[in-house]
Amino acid sequence: MARGSIVTALALAAALLLSSHLQPASSSPSLVVSVLNAEHVVNELRVVIEGPMGTLTYEGRASVTLSGVVRGVYRVSVYWRSHLIASRAVAVNVENVVETIELPFFDFALRVVDLSGAELPGPFAVRVEPPDALGEVRVVGSSIVLRNALRTLHYTISVEWESRVYNRKAFGVGAGSGDDLSRRGAVVLPVGDVRVSVIDRRGKGLGGAVLRAMGVSSATDEGGAVVLRRVPLEGPEGPNSLPVTVTYEGYEVASEVLLLSREVRSFTVTASVYELTVSVLGANGQPLQGAKASLVREGHEVGTAFADQGGVARLSRVIPVKHFLRVEYKGLSEVRELSPEAVRRGSVELRLPVYLEIGGIPLTFEQLVGLAAGSVGSVVAVVLGIALFVRSRTRKLRVAGPIY
């Protein structure tokens, strides 16, 4: 009897000991993971829980409940379309744990602006990396609208805009997290104003010239400057090139290709426009001050200058084409044909048959000889006249001898 009681007591003790180690599942803590703001993407979600119980993966669920979990630290990660968008460490001890994760989806817009901050008109070509990390991309006017983007995910947004005026593209990139991009509010493209100064061969500004760049023609101001507005400076391949031509008085005087960039937006173009120096001299090499030098092209006078004390007349802004040079001085004139090469040389000498001036009247050598001969003849005539007059008077005054 005593022996049976001992066996019963041992069995009861063993049962009590076993029951103390094998607690029912309901007494173990639970881990509940709830994903908020995921109603529109729930089918593309993946929840991964890593911890003492191993790795557990749940697809297409916005809520996961684990009952009777082993105490410890768990890593809860939420993926959307293969992108990790949330990751947290959760400690589970004796109490049930509910971990709420709100997905950082939001909508935002970016303005597309030039270097001065002014909006550029659409349309734009837009590329977003990663391409599947948002719901939708739209271009609305001068803005890019991104829907269902993630605040924490890093994006690279490439924007390309083409100018219909200059037939050139501008390319810019905005990069950063969704929050960063939203705070900036804009993607800046390398589009800006380009200043071109047109000068002649002496470095003086050429006002009144016409600069043509693709579909744009602009006249230079008095200082020879012109500003091209909203030019795409850099495209997908780097700096843009822009061919320009300059015409003056209907003739092309310059042609260049400008290499543009954000840093280089000011250029100087030298036109083939020259200063022509005309030396007007007399037959003895003396300068003829006040002589008028005129350039005639296609029957029209296109330039006039007067000679200074040294006999030099300066004609400015002469284009290297065929001209006729006409020089006039006190009734005398001479015309000479000038070739483009003569214009490029920049100087020409022209002599008039002025040998001497008497009383401000220019005389040629022949005129001077004739005048001198006439003067001598006049003197001789006067002398002869006087002689004849004296002789005649002498005859009238002759006295006869005395009469005795």
Q: What is the DSSP string of 68-84?
A: SPPSEEEEEEEEETTEE
Report pLDDT for 375. 52
pLDDT tens digits for the chain (404 residues)? 444 444 334 333 433 333 333 344 446 899 999 999 998 899 999 999 999 999 999 999 999 999 999 999 999 999 999 999 999 999 999 899 999 999 999 999 999 999 999 999 989 999 999 999 999 999 999 999 999 999 999 999 999 999 999 999 999 999 999 999 999 999 999 999 999 999 999 999 999 999 999 989 999 999 999 999 999 999 999 999 999 999 999 999 999 999 999 999 999 999 999 999 999 999 889 999 999 999 999 999 999 999 999 999 999 999 999 999 999 999 889 999 999 999 999 999 999 988 666 655 666 655 555 555 555 455 445 545 555 554 565 555 454 445 43
Report pLDDT for 25. 42
Angle at 189 between CA 185 and CA 195, to 5 degrees: 130
Rg, C-alpha atoms of the chain: 52
Report pLDDT for 122. 87
| Mode of pairing for the β-strands spanning 105-113 and 186-188 | parallel
How many Cα atoms are found within 13 Å in the side-chain-facing hemisphere of 251?
14
Q: Is 352 helix (H, G, I), strand (E, B) or coil?
A: coil
Structure tokens at 332: 């005398």
Report pLDDT for 237. 93
User: What is the 8-class DSSP label of residue 153?
Assistant: S
Report pLDDT for 365. 54
Report pLDDT for 363. 60
Question: Is the CB of residue 77 less than 8 Å from the CB of residue 84?
Answer: yes
Question: Is the CB of residue 311 less than 8 Å from the CB of residue 292?
Answer: no
To which CATH superfamily is domain 192-270 assigned? Carboxypeptidase-like, regulatory domain (2.60.40.1120)
Q: Is 85 helix (H, G, I), strand (E, B) or coil?
A: strand
Question: Is the CB of residue 318 less than 8 Å from the CB of residue 348?
Answer: no
Report pLDDT for 331. 87
The pTM assigned to this predicted structure is 0.72
Domain 28-102 has what CATH class? Answer: mainly beta
Which CATH number is 274-358 given?
2.60.40.1120
Alpha-carbon distance of 113 to 130, in angstroms, equals 23
Tell which phi-psi region holds residue 167, choosing left (phi > 0), alpha (psi between -120 and 50) or beta.
Answer: left
Question: Is the CB of residue 234 less than 8 Å from the CB of residue 226?
Answer: no
Report pLDDT for 9. 40
Structure tokens at 356: 């001497």
Determine phi and psi for 355, rounding to 5 degrees: -90, -40
Burial of 165 (0-12, 13-18, 19+ CB in 10 A): middle
